[in-house]
Amino acid sequence: MQGILYEEPSVWQFLFITVIMGGWTAWRTGKSVAEGWQPYRTLVIYTLLLGVAIRFIHHALFNGTMLTPQYYIVDTAVL
């Protein structure tokens, strides 16, 4: 799966950054939008921005590519 879903040499880096850190952040974002009775499109915009933030973390910490549509789509879909 390396190269298709994630670019890191270890699946553990992908799981920690995208699934655990990103998932927790996405869950808190969804909870905040729901408690504030904000429209659904607000949640979609925040999730797209979180996808950019997760790609930046991969880039900054593990020398991953920043602007790769394939990995951005995978990270955002996981969120």
Q: What is the pTM of this model?
A: 0.89
CA dihedral for 40, 41, 44, 45, sign (positive or negative): negative
Q: How many residues does the chain have?
A: 79
Number of independent structural domains in the chain: 1
Predicted confidence pLDDT, tens digits, the chain (79 residues) = 677 778 888 889 999 999 999 999 999 999 999 999 999 999 999 999 999 999 999 999 989 888 899 999 999 999 9
Q: Which domain holds residue 27?
A: 17-78
Domain presence at residue 9: no
Residue 35 lies in a domain: yes
Q: What is the pLDDT of residue 8?
A: 80
